[in-house]
Amino acid sequence: MASTTIPESWRNSPSDDVYTIKILRGDTFRGYEGFDLVDSYDESPSSKVLVFYVPKIESYGVFKEVVLRHVEMPTEDVRFWVCFNRQNGTIRPFEPVKREMVDSATMAELVSCHGTSVRIKMYLEFADDKKPPLSTHSLVFLKHFDVQRQRIYGVKKIYVHNSSKVSSLNGKINRLMRWRPARKLHLYEEIKPDRIDCLDRSKSFADSEIVNGDIICFQEALSVAETQTLRTQDPRLVLDATQFYAKMRNKSQETKYPKVPKPAIDFVVLPGQSFEDALKSLQERMDILNKDLTGYKFTCSQENDSVVAYSNFDSLMTCTICLELLVDPVSFMDCMHVTCGACAVEWFRHSSTCHQCRQPVRAVHYIHAVAATVEAYCQYNSLANRSDAELANLRAKYKPGQLIEINRREKIDSDPTAEERPMSTAGCPGCNPGNELHFLCPEPILDDAGNTMFPGHARCEDCNAHLPLMPEFSLECCAVCTRFTCRELKLQCGSASTTAPFLIQPLGTIRFPKELDTNLFETIPIKYEREVLIKYAQDYDMGAQELFTVLLELHEGAGLPRASWHGVGRAPFDRDFVSSNNLVCVTCAKDLVAGALLTWGQSIGPSLSPGELIPGDYASLGLHAVKL
C-alpha cells in the first residue's frame, strides 16, 4: 500500500496524545493458518495486522476515510467492529461501531462509547449486505481442518441466528464447500489455544454460548474404512481436529517471531512494599507520572524450570470437563482421558464419545492410582482442595467403582441421507425421518406382511407394536429379559387389553404379589434343588417378598446376581449382576430371588433329601444368615 495515504500526524510513535489502533482486515482471515483470527503478537514486517497511531482529536469520519483509502476498499461496503481482549487471552470482534457514532465524533468519543483502552483493536468487515447486523444474530468465523492436507485454515465469516440449532451449520458448510453429496461433519469451538470443545449439535447457538467473534472449526467425519486407509498411507497423520490443535500449540511454542526490539527497565519490589508503590517509583524513574502503564508488560525474572514443572503437574490434576481439581477420577477406554467421576456421569448421559478426542468410549473405569496422586497433591497444596459442599454434591452423583452407563444414541440430524430413505408403513415410530423420537432405525421395516421380528426392533409387550431398539432406551427396559413397552419410549400404547399391563420398576423397590409365593422356584431346572428351597421357604414361612428383602440385605442393597439360566443379556446388561437401581419386571425379579437362593442351595449337596432336612440343618450349612 502506498504510504502517502497515511497522514503525517499518524506516523508518530505512541504517545499520550494518540491511540494505537490495530486493524484486522476480513479478507486476511481466509486461508489463515493458526490460532485466533490472526496472530496479533506477530510484529514482523509481513504481519497481516495494520497499525495506526491516530490522534485522539481526529474525527471518526477522517479515520474511516484514511483507513479505507489505505486498504483500497469502498466506504459503503465495509463495517468497523470493536475487538475486545477476552479473559482467556484471545482477541475477538465484540460489537460493530455504534450507529450513533457520527463522522464528526472524535476518536476519544468513540473510545469512551465502547469502553476500550488506549490500545484499540478493530476488525474491518467486508459487508455482504448494507443492513446492520441484528441483535438476534452472531458473527461467527469458520475454520476447516483438512485431514488430507493436515492444516487448519480460515474459510469465511458467517452470521448465525442465535435460536437456530448448531446442526443447521451442516447444510451451510456443505453448500459453502460445494460438497456433493453432503458430508457428515464434526463441529468444534476454538475457545482458546488450549481449549477446543466439541459442540452439541442438538443445542441452539445461544445455549452453546456462541457470541460475536467465536470461531467454529469443522472437519469431515471419517468412516472406519477411510480411517484405516489414511492410517495405512501415513501412520503419522492426525485425524482429529482437537489433536491437531494440540500439535499446532506445541509447534507454536517453538516458533520465534522477529520482534521489534523494545527497551527493558528492571525494578525491584522490596519486601513489604506493595506493587502499586513499586510502580509509582518506576513512573518517577521514567518521568511518566501521568502515563497509563496498562500497555506495558511486566515479567518476573526469577521464574525457573521448577515453576513451569509445577504448572504442568497442576494441569494434570485438573478435570478437563469442570476445569477443577479431580474428584474420584475415572479414565475412558480406549483413549485413557481422565475426568471426575461425577463429570463423566453427566457427560455420558448425552454422549458416547470422549469430550476431548471425540473417539467412541467403550467403558469407564475408576483409577485408584490417580486418586492417590490427587490426595497426595492436596496434602502438598492445601489451596487446591474442593469444599465439603462440592465433594458431597459430586459424590451424590458418583461413588468410586460405580458403573457409568454410556448413552449410545445416534442423532437423526447427523445423517445427511435420511431424506433419501423409502417410507415405512409398518408402524415403527423410528423407521421414518422426522419422527418424535429423533432417532432413525438403521434397518427400516419396509414390508410387515409376515408379521415377524426384524433386526434392530422389538415388540411392545402390551400392544405388540414394532419398536426400535434405541441404545439409550435399553436403560429403560428390563435388565434381564430386555422387554419393554411403548410407555418406556414415552409413546401412546395401543393396547386395549383389560389385563394387568407389563410393568418394570427399579429392583430395589420391587413389590411381589402374594400369588408368586406358590411358584417362586418353578424356574429352577433341577428337581432336588427346587424341592430343598421350597422346604426351606415353608419351614421359615417366607414368601417372595421376605426372601427378596433378606437377600438384598446380604448384598448390602447393591443388587442380586443373575440366575445361571438367564444366559447373556443384550448390551448394556451383558453382565452377571443386576444393580438395585436397574429396572426389572416382576417375573425376572422372581428369578433373581430364586437364583440367589440356588447359589447356596447347591452347596448342600445330595447327602440329604428334602424330607430329612430340619431347620437346624440349614444353620449348619450357613443358611442361618438369611433367617428373619
User: Which CATH number fits the domain that encloses residue 324?
Assistant: 3.30.40.10
Q: Is residue 290 part of a domain?
A: no
User: 360 and 416: one domain?
Assistant: no
Print the domain residue range for 428: 408-502
Q: Which residues of 36-57 are buried (b: 16+ CB within 10 A; e: fewer)?
A: bbbbbebeeeebbbbebbbbee
Distance CA 616, CA 628 (A): 14
Helix boundaries (H) for 365-478: 368-380, 388-397
438: left (phi over 0), alpha (psi -120 to 50) or beta: left
Q: Residue 2: pLDDT above 50?
A: no
Angle between helices 544-554 and 586-601 (to 10 degrees): 60
Asked whether residue 365 falls in the same domain as residue 473, the answer is no
Highest-scoring range by mean pLDDT, 438-447, 450-459, 562-571 = 438-447
- Residue 447 domain-assigned? yes
Same domain (yes/no): 621, 511: yes
Among residues 191, 190, 95, 89, which one has the least CA distance to residue 135?
95
pLDDT score recorded for residue 219 = 93
User: How many structural domains does the chain have?
Assistant: 5
Same domain, 188 and 232: yes
Q: Is residue 512 part of a domain?
A: yes
pLDDT tens per residue, range 346-375: 888 878 888 887 778 878 888 888 888 888
Statement: residue 558 has pLDDT above 90: no
Q: Is residue 3 part of a domain?
A: no
Single out the residue in 351, 366, 397 at which a domain terminates. 397
For residue 613, tell me if it sits in a domain.
Answer: yes
Q: How many CB atoms lie within 10 A of CB 338?
A: 19
The chain-wide mean pLDDT, for the chain, equals 76
Q: Are residues 436 and 474 in the same domain?
A: yes
Residue 145 confidence (pLDDT): 93
| C-alpha span between 532 and 611 (Å, rounded) | 8
Report the range of poorest mean pLDDT among 104-108, 508-512, 524-528: 524-528
Pair 519, 472 in one domain: no
Task: Look at the alpha carbons of 504, 509, 514, 518 in this order and tell me if their dihedral is positive or negative.
Answer: positive
Per-residue pLDDT, 218 = 94
Which tens digit of pLDDT belongs to each residue from 9-60? 565 555 667 788 888 887 788 888 888 888 766 666 667 788 888 888 888 8
> Which has more pLDDT, 188 or 478?
188
Of the residues 397, 427, 442, the one at which a domain ends: 397
Is residue 313 domain-shared with residue 381, that is, in the same domain?
Answer: yes
CA distances from 256 to 251, 264, 415, 561, 602 (A): 10, 19, 44, 62, 75
The per-residue pLDDT for 263 is 61
Look at residue 29 and tell me if it is in a domain.
yes
DSSP-derived 3-state class of residue 265: coil
Whether the predicted pLDDT of 339 surpasses 90: yes
Q: Are residues 142 and 243 in the same domain?
A: yes
CATH of residue 22: 3.10.20.90
Same domain flag for 527 and 488: no
Task: Give 77 or 621, the one with higher predicted confidence.
Answer: 77
Is residue 100 located within the same domain as residue 142? no
Where among 126, 154, 169 does a domain terminate?
Answer: 126
Same domain, 616 and 520: yes
Is 302 a member of any domain? Answer: no
Check whether residue 235 and residue 195 sit in a common domain.
Answer: yes
pTM confidence score = 0.43
Which of 237-246, 450-459, 570-579 bottoms out in mean pLDDT, i.e. has the lowest? 570-579
More confident residue, 406 or 456: 406
What percent of the chain clears pLDDT 90, i.e. is strictly above it?
8
From CA 587, how far away is CA 128, in angstroms rounded?
66
Q: pLDDT tens for residues 565-621?
A: 655 444 444 566 788 878 888 888 888 887 777 765 554 444 434 444 444 444 444
Whether 124 contacts 24, CB under 8 Å = yes
Q: Look at 139-148, 217-226, 230-239, 479-488 and tell me which has the smallest mean pLDDT.
A: 479-488
Confidence at 413, pLDDT banded by 50, 70, 90 = very low
Is 259 inside a domain boundary? Answer: no
